[in-house]
Amino acid sequence: MLSPEIRARLSRLNRVTLPDADQPSPSYAPSSGSMSELPAGEQVDNGCGQHWLLRTAIDELWPAGADVIEQTLSDRDPLQEPSNRAELEIAELQNAFPEQVLLLDLETCGLGGAMVFLVGLIHVYQGQFVLSQLLARNYAEEAAILQSLWEIAAAQQVLVTFNGKSFDWPLVHDRSTLHHLGRDPRQSSCQPTAVAGETIPARLARHQPRPELVHCDLLHHGRRRWKSQLPDCRLQTLEQYICGRYRSGDIPGRLIPHAYHDYVRTGDAWQMRNVLHHNALDLVTLLELSCRFITSGAEKKPSFQEEC
């Protein structure tokens, strides 16, 4: 059995650093205290039970973000008369940014319909961009984090993900169906669906519609723009070449399910802090890529050299 001191030292060695010569790197700095405990947050109670909520202002997480967002709002040039689905998605993103845009990234127990244990979101809360991380502290809290997700999504118009059309969003719907939370709009197109701004009850009943948002998957847009210029279009590749940041020491995705199972089994959160860190960095990159597409739209397709 490792002592708390050794666990703390190992955790500090695994903290992520992102050296960047151009701008301050995102820095997820959980509260001080025992590294074996979850970072400071609050317990959320809803009609599906309880879960843990960690909320961090983007200014604290990403110091350069305020300037990037301000420049995005200044340079935004909405597309006129979008001619295809890709342009329509970017136009919707441009029009909804920032107040009605929801950026989402999940952490799960694996592939193939596995449990969602962490829903990471960036959205506007009380007038500023925040990172909200909805964490299931055990397997029984999954329904509660999904309920809270739907409550937040109800106030938004555009959902932004990375590979979310193939993985994240279908999984959210499938796991919600498993917990009898609302009606899947994909299976009931003849019935009305919830729209942005509608109030979500404390627990979605099985027959009630789930919010339906315009879904902008930046993996698809990234491939259209940079496929021929980059080694691949994975999120961390775009983070390196487009955003100019490099990760070191990040927890590998394949180890994330094990880290969660270990946390549930032992109650020791030292690995979960690294998972929360990983999720936060993915979302910051998603936000910066969103800003790139908002300012350049879908019609202008700059070369990699122009982006740099």
Give the chain's length: 308
Cross-strand partners of 217: 161
Q: Give domain limits for the chain.
A: 40-307
Residue-level pLDDT, tens digit, the chain, 308 residues: 445 554 454 444 343 333 343 444 566 555 545 788 999 999 999 999 999 999 999 999 999 999 999 999 999 877 777 889 999 999 999 999 999 999 999 999 998 889 999 999 999 999 999 999 999 999 999 999 999 999 999 999 999 999 999 999 999 999 999 999 999 877 765 555 655 567 889 999 999 999 999 999 999 999 999 999 999 999 999 999 999 998 888 999 999 999 999 999 999 999 999 999 999 999 999 999 999 999 987 544 444 444 43
Q: Which superfamily, per CATH, for 40-307?
A: Ribonuclease H-like superfamily/Ribonuclease H (3.30.420.10)
> Could you tell me the two tokens for 270?
């030292």
> Could you tell me the two tokens for 280?
């936060």
Burial 244-279 (b: 16+ CB within 10 A, else e): bbebeebbeeeebbebbebbeeeebbbbbbbbbbbb
pTM: 0.86
Q: What is the 3-state secondary structure (H, E, C) of 228-290?
A: CCCCCCCHHHHHHHCCCCCCECCCCHHHHHHHHHHHHHHCCCHHHHHHHHHHHHHHHHHHHHH
> Could you tell me the two tokens for 182?
């609302």
Alpha carbons 38 and 289: distance in angstroms, whole number: 29
Which are the contacts of 145, defined by CB distance < 8 A and separation ≥ 6? Answer: 51, 116, 117, 118, 119, 134, 135, 136
